[in-house]
Structure 1
Amino acid sequence: MFNPVDSKTNFPKLEESILGLWKSQNVFQRSVEARKEGPRFVFFEGPPFANGSPGIHHVLARAFKDIIVRYKVMKGFYVPRIAGWDTHGLPIELEMEKQLGFSGKNQIEKYGIEEFNKRCRENVFSYVKEWDSLTERIAYWVDLEHAYKTMDNTYIESVWWALKKMWDKGFIYQGYRVTPHCPRCGTSLSSHEVALGYKDDTEDPSVYIKFRVVKGLPDRLAKEEPVFLLAWTTTPWTLPGNTALAVAPEAKYAVVEVDGEYIILADALREPAGLGEYKVAARVKGSELVGVQYEPLYTQIDIRYSQGDKPAYRVIEGDFVSMDEGTGIVHIAPAYGEIDFAVGEKEGLPLVHAVELDGTVTTNLVTGFTPRALEYIQKSEVPVMFGPARRKIDLPGAGKFVKDADKDILNDLKSRGLLLRSETIKHTYPFCWRCESPLLYYAKETWHIKTTAVKERLLSGNEEINWYPEHIKYGRFGDWLENNVDWALSRERYWGTPLPVWRCQSCGAFECIGGMDDLKKKKGFSGFKEPLDLHRPFVDELTFNCSKCKGEMRRVPEVIDCWFDAGAMPFAQFHYPFQNETLLEDGRFPADYICEAIDQTRGWFYSLHAISTLLFDRPCYKNVICLGLILDAKGEKMSKRKGNVVWPWEVINQYGADPLRWYLFTATSPGNQRQFDAKQVQEVSRRFLATLWNVYSFFITYANIDRFTPGKGAKIAPSELDRWIISELNQLIADVDGGLDGYNPTEAGRKIEAFVDDLSNWYVRRSRRRFWKSESDADKLAAYTTLYECLVALTKLLAPFTPFLAEVLYQNLVVAAFPDAPDSVHLADFPVADKAKIDKKLSADTRLAMKVCSLGRAARSQAGIKVRQPLAHLVVSLAGSGERKVLERLKPQILEELNVKELKFVDSEAELAKPGYEVVSEGGHSVAISKEIPPELVAEGVAREIVRRLQTMRRSAGFDIADHIVTYYQGDDYIKRVMADFADYIKQETLSRELAEGVPEEDAFTERHNLSGHDISLGVKRLA
């Protein structure tokens, strides 16, 4: 006997009970250990931050991680998986600043780095209990007890080892370069961090600025009136930093006469600049403008360093000048743009820093040259008239944040007649990925990893990785690698892995340290205190003697990008190479599988790939599922500000984790952007999980009535219907196995969904009478055995998808019946398809019958005739010559399914076009039903309606399925005749021992109905 089950279930309650079972029986740990002798499957868990609540996107990622590793375990693989936590960086620091009421670095340093970092450490795991609870509740099985933490000394030491290896290979350097800089956080950011913070439709100024020519125009362009070069910019705050203008040498430029002065711009861009209607006085190639000198916008910043032929404030040529927008003349500010900086180095242009690191317009101007620019000047033997210096200056908007100062700068230029036109533009702009401040591209000294040195190996390594979806390989990720820039490694912050570089205070020599033993061996080592903490400020106190001059070596102040921490997890979690020295050889590297959202192509996916390539010259992972972003039901990005964030607990508490998981797997392919709608979770629960539960409940109910015992009894003789569903089952097993092996859970899940629909709406419905009949013959045994086999296989197929439901079914169907079986479905093996039982012809034949029935139901629906109303015949026109024989063989199933008395065939669809017929066609197949129903069939239809009402009344009265009853009825002569003519049918279908005409007994359950215009009173009473 199986444990009885209700026809309806509450998934959240059911899942809570299973959590207790798993915990008490230690199923997760046992599932890992049971496969220890099997082949290893390596999975890397990316570390999230635990200082905020997990969101629905975390459930999405964890579901797709879990399904693959569960599947691999059931396939016999040894899959240990360890959780991890990202504990450093801006996400932690900014949260602590918020709690302390700080708005910048000055307040942190006044508060004290030691105390600030202490608070950061305490805050790191403020939400870890919520994370752990959600992880357990969604059945994401990962070792939380031994989770790695990026702030641990052992982890930091492994990161130091990695950086020392890169240092020794010449991959780490300090350089004066333009890097993305967050003025709020006061630190550089890496290109992959920048990629996480772009915002579309950012509004900025769109302004056209006039630069007055002072020298160098071709004679034919010389005018007595003022001549201006017209440049366009969306960042007015960079204009004080201008030291050159760039033109396209091959492009055509126009000299336009405007209100008594002349303006030069690209001929093709006169119209967008608003000068299309003005007279063109001359045209000239861009190359003829090269060398033209102009007056600085701010004469107090004039830093012409040469009296020679290449001063600042001149026109240069640039292959980057576009004719798509602007004026064809690009304003160059080497301090504030990557291209500008590169051009400045090439052309020997000076730098003008008119903005402080906090993003405010300065009152202390910094001017000078990059090392390459200075080298250029010296080699050219050009007398340097102005070197690096800082001086007081009064600029428009001084003291204001640059975006706020734009207005002051433009008002000043307008007052001096240098602003031709001012508009606004909406474009894409980078913001800090953590604090959402607008980023500035800012020239300063930073530490970098020379990833460009291994660009070709990064690209060739990508060839070895399988991406799902495949287009990511050469699209988003491949493009990122193709346009690789050196990794901005250092951060001018506090709570992070300290950059392990020490600098001599006397001679300026640098030395990189690869671990604490290296450090302790240094001559003059001092400052060490127990307990060891490798964070600031303690690590800053560790000093030693310079090997070159005996001076004091002190650590540089920077910490490193927390994305480097995350990308080092494959080895740092194991304290490699200080421990686990065989990590690279014993099968724990590289990963067979990783999974995160698409934004990680520029985040964790990249950092893993780059670090592995730099250190080991090999890819870090073999297979990646890259998930699309998850939006709200309207397709909008979720945010707390909008109030459209979906909290996982609300969905789980209402619908359950399995319905949520199933929805995430099957709603759309993993790589697609998805719109999350909780109502759809309810819908998949109703459409699929409830359907499966109904089949399971149906089986348990009737199997218990007939005392069916699986695995016992004579060898069965399956019917054609049985053979068909077993064929479909084995094909399903092969398909799901292939889908999961190919990292396509969506397709695999949809195959299961389609099978369950066939199982419920064809096999079970076509087999109901086999289960209902009173005699326990071989046919009934075959039906039970077949349905049992299907359900048991489904529990195992579903285990990676819906682990709770699979366990519930398995415990009742298998564990209760077979004490020697594994005591959890998650300890069982994945099913293996028996290909000998796959009958493709039988499958095709049955599909044809199902299609004809589908068309027949559609014809009934169009005609407004219920399926319970019998019809005289169904007329069919077929596409293939052999199809008639197929339908003749399957005729009993078709007639019963469509409730028709006869199946007829015609040679063409045209023969179906008769008055009184309803015709439906699809793909060369057509069916027709007659809308004229003879009286005897109308009466049979009424009898079927009576049966349906009585069955509903049985349920409403709380009767068991096997209870026998007395049925009472009252009605007119027509009703009495129907009850008499169809008495046997009504008794059999409703388990009525007697059909009693007259008033029901007092304790009977009664209802009144009107059937086809006839009133009827019905009563049911359970027999003792």
Structure 2
Amino acid sequence: MYKKVSTDLNFVDREKEIEKFWEENGIFEKSMKERDGNDIYMFYDGPPTANGKPHIGHVLTRVIKDMIPRYRTMKGYEVPRKAGWDTHGLPVELEVEKALGLDGKDQIEEYGLEPFIDKCKESVWKYKGMWEDFSGTVGFWADMENPYVTYHNDFIESEWWALKQIWDKGLLYKGFKIVPYCPRCGTPLSAQEVAQGYKDVKERSAIVRFKVVGEDAYFLAWTTTPWTLPSNIGLCVNPQEDYAKVKAADGYVYYMAVALLDTVLGKLAEEGNPAYEILETYKGQDLEYKEYDPLYQCAADCAARQNKKAFFITCDSYVTLTDGTGVVHIAPAFGEDDAKVGRKYDMPFVQLVDEKGRMTEDAPCAGVFVKDADPEILKDLDARGLLFDAPKFEHSYPHCWRCDTPLLYYARESWFIKMTEVKDDLIANNNTINWIPESIGKKRFGDWLENVQDWGISRNRYWGTPLNIWECECGHQHSIGSIAELKEMSDNCPEDIELHRPYIDAVTIKCPICGKEMNRVPEVIDCWFDSGSMPFAQHHYPFENKELFEKQFPADFISEAVDQTRGWFYSLLAISTLIFNKAPYKNVIVLGHVQDENGQKMSKSKGNAVDPFDALEKYGADAIRWYFYVNSAPWLPNRFHGKAVTEGQRKFMGTLWNTYAFFVLYANIDGFDATKYSLDYDKLSVMDKWLLSKLNTLIKEVDDNLGNYRIPEAARALQDFVDDMSNWYVRRSRERFWAKGMEQD
């Protein structure tokens, strides 16, 4: 007798029974053991952060990540699936700051670094149980009992080994550069992190009059950041473009680009009178070195102290005529292009903003945060007759993706990995990867690599992998590549050293040049380096598991959301190229974001976010899994709503389930046991042969699609087959099944 099958569609309760059965009987572990020693199909799991709750988008990543390894296991491969946890970085620190009622680095240090680090370690696991329950409910199979954890000493030691390889190749350096910097968190961000925090903002720009020395005339220059004007030390024009000296209808004489005269001065025109009269024209290069009066005395004082020439016209082709006036204000402390021009002309370095993003005491608006200083500076310039206009404009401005503070482009000393040196290798290795879809690999990711910047790897924070560089006051620097090397070179390294601040900061080594004590530099590293090191660091390579790592590298398959093109996808490729000069993964499915039913981004503030636990409880994991498989190509956005999920559940799962229930009902009435009969193909009816033919075509089609990572195509083929089986085969064969006795039918 077959187990009686209910025809209700209460899949949620049945799923819970199956999940319990899997757990009690170690089904995942058995599936792994059965394939032990077979050919390996390698899957890498991108580590989530366990101090944040799962959201509905994580259901999508979990189900895609589960399905391909499950399919490959069914094909006979051994598919290692080690879960991992991303545990370092700013999100953890900010959570702890909030919990302790602290605000900023000064208060953290006052509270005490050791207790703060202990709290970070606790905070990391805040939602670990929730993530494990979530993974079980979704049906995500991975080794959760033995995960890799990025804060463990073994993991960090492997990262130190990698950083030393990079150091030995001359690719890790300390440089004074303009970096995207968060004044609230007190640390620079990598280009990958900056890309995650852009927001559209409306602000006032400034078109400013700069008085020409020896003439009753002004250069008109435009800036979108009025707060940088007190640090102005130059103006820049495009050497090849046309510029004019004009008498404007407001009574002033201006120098600016010819192409923008109407745009900027056009509003001055009055009936019968033109807005301006051109007095002379020049090429931009004709204006080079022409001097103007400093806008602010504080900048002039800084320039004088450095004994360097300032307040003159420079030339550079980066100046465009798409907006503004064709004359750009230069403050080398606050922009990469500005810094480049400043170096070219050997100009003074003026930085009248402190590390907390406040105007310094020498500057106007002393102590005021830069964005709040904008209106005050505009008022000051207007009162002095130097503000021509302050037009509103909307632009996309980067904010800290963790604390939402506007970022500053700010000159700082930071540690960098010279990715520009290995650009050709990055591109060549990327070309070996099967990107799904190809357009993201070739365009979005490919363009990112074509314009790759050096990786700003250091963070001026606390909870992270410490940078493994020791420095002596004589200038000598040394990179430590292992705990053994550290103990060998140090007289005060504890036996059970923990590789975190503040413990590691106390360990000194002897300088081989002058014999003095060398101290570790204070920085920790970008936590993207942690997650990008997981292929080898999860195995504590090269200190152990050397053979295991080599068998499991590179991965056959990875998958994450599209925002990881500049995150995990990039950090994996960057580190693998630097250390092994090969791509770390062969196939990658890029996933689109999950939106609400109107195609809007989900967010708590909008009230349109879906709680994944509520959705799983209401519809069941299989229904949601099926929706994500069949709904659209994985890389396209999914509009998630209950109606779409239940529609798929009814059409596919309900039909399949009821077809099986129909079979069980009549098999039990007749006492039929399929294991006691063999198939005599020649005696089958046309309908039976048609269905078997359909089934074999389906097997071939699904196998081919899944073998080539075509998930919706495989799902739709299954859906079509179930529809044919129910609506054609079963419906037209009912009378045959109702016949008495055990006939061929």
1:872-887 equivalences under 5 Å are: none
d(CA) in 2 for partners of 1:40 and 1:205? 59
Which residue of the partner structure matches residue 203 of structure 1?
202
Q: Is the Cα–Cα contact under 8 Å of residues 230 and 364 in structure 2 kept in the other structure? A: no
Deviation at 1:654? Answer: 0.6
Task: Say if 2:475 is the partner of 1:508.
Answer: yes
Residues 99/139 of structure 1: CA separation in 2 closer, same or farther (3 Å cut): same
1:203-282 equivalences under 5 Å are: 203-214=202-213, 226-258=216-248, 259-275=250-266, 277=269, 278-282=275-279
Deviation at 1:286? Answer: 1.5
Q: Is the Cα–Cα contact under 8 Å of residues 304 and 312 in structure 1 kept in the other structure? A: no
Q: Is the Cα–Cα contact under 8 Å of residues 458 and 481 in structure 1 kept in the other structure? A: yes
Query: Which residue type is aligned with residue 267 of structure 1?
Result: V
Task: Say if 2:687 is the partner of 1:721.
Answer: yes
Q: Is the Cα–Cα contact under 8 Å of residues 212 and 294 in structure 1 kept in the other structure? A: yes
d(CA) in 2 for partners of 1:301 and 1:320? 24
d(CA) in 2 for partners of 1:154 and 1:173? 25
Task: Say if 2:159 is the partner of 1:159.
Answer: yes
Which residue of the partner structure matches residue 140 of structure 1?
140
Q: Is the Cα–Cα contact under 8 Å of residues 88 and 562 in structure 1 kept in the other structure? A: yes
d(CA) in 2 for partners of 1:747 and 1:304? 66
d(CA) in 2 for partners of 1:51 and 1:198? 24
Which residue of the partner structure matches residue 312 of structure 2?
314
Deviations 1:528-580 (A, max 9, x none): 33542111111000012110001110111100000001101111111111111
Deviation at 1:90? Answer: 0.3
Deviations 1:26-57 (A, max 9, x none): 11011111111211011111111100211111
What SS does structure 1 have at the residue aligned with 2:220?
strand
What SS does structure 2 have at the residue aligned with 1:125?
coil
d(CA) in 1 for partners of 2:686 and 2:244? 85
What SS does structure 1 have at the residue aligned with 2:332?
coil
Q: Is the Cα–Cα contact under 8 Å of residues 254 and 280 in structure 1 kept in the other structure? A: no
Which residue of the partner structure matches residue 919 of structure 1?
none
What SS does structure 1 have at the residue aligned with 2:588?
strand
Task: Say if 2:457 is the partner of 1:467.
Answer: no
Query: Which residue type is aligned with residue 503 of structure 1?
Result: E
Task: Say if 2:499 is the partner of 1:534.
Answer: yes
Deviations 1:670-720 (A, max 9, x none): 111222213211221112111111111111112222222214346252222
Q: Is the Cα–Cα contact under 8 Å of residues 203 and 392 in structure 2 kept in the other structure? A: yes
Q: 586, 594, 602: which one pairs with 1:630? A: 594
Query: Which residue type is aligned with residue 84 of structure 2?
Result: G
What SS does structure 2 have at the residue aligned with 1:354?
coil
Q: Is the Cα–Cα contact under 8 Å of residues 232 and 299 in structure 2 kept in the other structure? A: no
Task: Say if 2:735 is the partner of 1:769.
Answer: yes
Query: Which residue type is aligned with residue 500 of structure 2?
Result: H
Query: Which residue type is aligned with residue 463 of structure 1?
Result: N
d(CA) in 2 for partners of 1:156 and 1:604? 17
d(CA) in 2 for partners of 1:532 and 1:603? 31
What SS does structure 2 have at the residue aligned with 1:175?
strand
Q: Is the Cα–Cα contact under 8 Å of residues 303 and 350 in structure 2 kept in the other structure? A: no
Which residue of the partner structure matches residue 397 of structure 1?
365
Which residue of the partner structure matches residue 704 of structure 1?
668
Q: 566, 570, 579: which one pairs with 1:602? A: 566
d(CA) in 1 for partners of 2:402 and 2:588? 26
What SS does structure 2 have at the residue aligned with 1:553?
strand
d(CA) in 1 for partners of 2:90 and 2:444? 25
d(CA) in 2 for partners of 1:483 and 1:600? 17
Q: 621, 625, 647: which one pairs with 1:661? A: 625
What SS does structure 2 have at the residue aligned with 1:21?
helix
Which residue of the partner structure matches residue 184 of structure 2?
184
Deviation at 1:770? Answer: 1.8
Q: Is the Cα–Cα contact under 8 Å of residues 8 and 693 in structure 1 kept in the other structure? A: no
Q: 289, 292, 300: which one pairs with 1:291? A: 289
Q: Is the Cα–Cα contact under 8 Å of residues 204 and 235 in structure 1 kept in the other structure? A: no
Which residue of the partner structure matches residue 536 of structure 2?
571
What SS does structure 2 have at the residue aligned with 1:361?
coil
1:712-791 equivalences under 5 Å are: 712-713=676-677, 715-716=680-681, 717-774=683-740, 776-778=742-744, 780=745
d(CA) in 2 for partners of 1:604 and 1:25? 35
Query: Which residue type is aligned with residue 160 of structure 1?
Result: W
Residues 306/187 of structure 1: CA separation in 2 closer, same or farther (3 Å cut): closer
Task: Say if 2:525 is the partner of 1:560.
Answer: yes
Q: Is the Cα–Cα contact under 8 Å of residues 43 and 79 in structure 1 kept in the other structure? A: yes
Deviation at 1:323? Answer: 1.4
Q: Is the Cα–Cα contact under 8 Å of residues 451 and 485 in structure 1 kept in the other structure? A: yes
Q: Is the Cα–Cα contact under 8 Å of residues 291 and 310 in structure 1 kept in the other structure? A: no
Which residue of the partner structure matches residue 479 of structure 1?
447
Q: Which has the higher contact order (CA 8 A, sep 6+)?
A: 2
Deviation at 1:299? Answer: 2.4
What SS does structure 1 have at the residue aligned with 2:617?
helix
Deviation at 1:306? Answer: 8.8
Tell me the number of residue pairs that the alignment of Structure 1 and Structure 2 aligns. 735
Deviation at 1:642? Answer: 2.2
Deviation at 1:305? Answer: 5.7
Query: Which residue type is aligned with residue 671 of structure 2?
Result: R
d(CA) in 2 for partners of 1:304 and 1:642? 48
Q: Is the Cα–Cα contact under 8 Å of residues 539 and 549 in structure 2 kept in the other structure? A: no
1:412-561 equivalences under 5 Å are: 412-505=380-473, 507-522=474-489, 525-529=490-494, 531-561=496-526
d(CA) in 1 for partners of 2:643 and 2:50? 29
d(CA) in 2 for partners of 1:349 and 1:732? 71
d(CA) in 2 for partners of 1:19 and 1:652? 13
Deviations 1:810-833 (A, max 9, x none): xxxxxxxxxxxxxxxxxxxxxxxx
Which residue of the partner structure matches residue 48 of structure 1?
48
Q: Is the Cα–Cα contact under 8 Å of residues 304 and 313 in structure 1 kept in the other structure? A: no
Q: Is the Cα–Cα contact under 8 Å of residues 150 and 565 in structure 1 kept in the other structure? A: yes
Q: Please identify runs of 4+ aligned residues in structure 1 that moved more than 4 A.
A: 303-307
d(CA) in 2 for partners of 1:50 and 1:436? 21
Query: Which residue type is aligned with residue 126 of structure 1?
Result: K
What SS does structure 1 have at the residue aligned with 2:702?
helix
d(CA) in 2 for partners of 1:409 and 1:214? 23
1:15-30 equivalences under 5 Å are: 15-30=15-30
Deviation at 1:172? Answer: 0.3
Percent identity for Structure 1 against Structure 2: 50
Deviation at 1:238? Answer: 1.1
d(CA) in 2 for partners of 1:19 and 1:176? 55
RMSD: 1.8
Q: Is the Cα–Cα contact under 8 Å of residues 210 and 420 in structure 1 kept in the other structure? A: yes
Deviations 1:839-873 (A, max 9, x none): xxxxxxxxxxxxxxxxxxxxxxxxxxxxxxxxxxx
d(CA) in 1 for partners of 2:34 and 2:173? 48
Q: Is the Cα–Cα contact under 8 Å of residues 669 and 746 in structure 1 kept in the other structure? A: yes
Which residue of the partner structure matches residue 109 of structure 2?
109
Deviation at 1:254? Answer: 2.8
What SS does structure 1 have at the residue aligned with 2:206?
strand
Deviation at 1:584? Answer: 5.0
Task: Say if 2:639 is the partner of 1:675.
Answer: yes
Bigger CA radius of gyration: 1
Deviation at 1:769? Answer: 2.0
Residues 674/271 of structure 1: CA separation in 2 closer, same or farther (3 Å cut): farther
Structure 1 gap segments, 5+ residues each: 216-222, 364-392, 781-1024
d(CA) in 1 for partners of 2:277 and 2:261? 10
What SS does structure 2 have at the residue aligned with 1:158?
helix
Deviation at 1:502? Answer: 0.7
d(CA) in 2 for partners of 1:433 and 1:702? 60
Give the TM-score normalised by structure 1: 0.70
Task: Say if 2:90 is the partner of 1:90.
Answer: yes
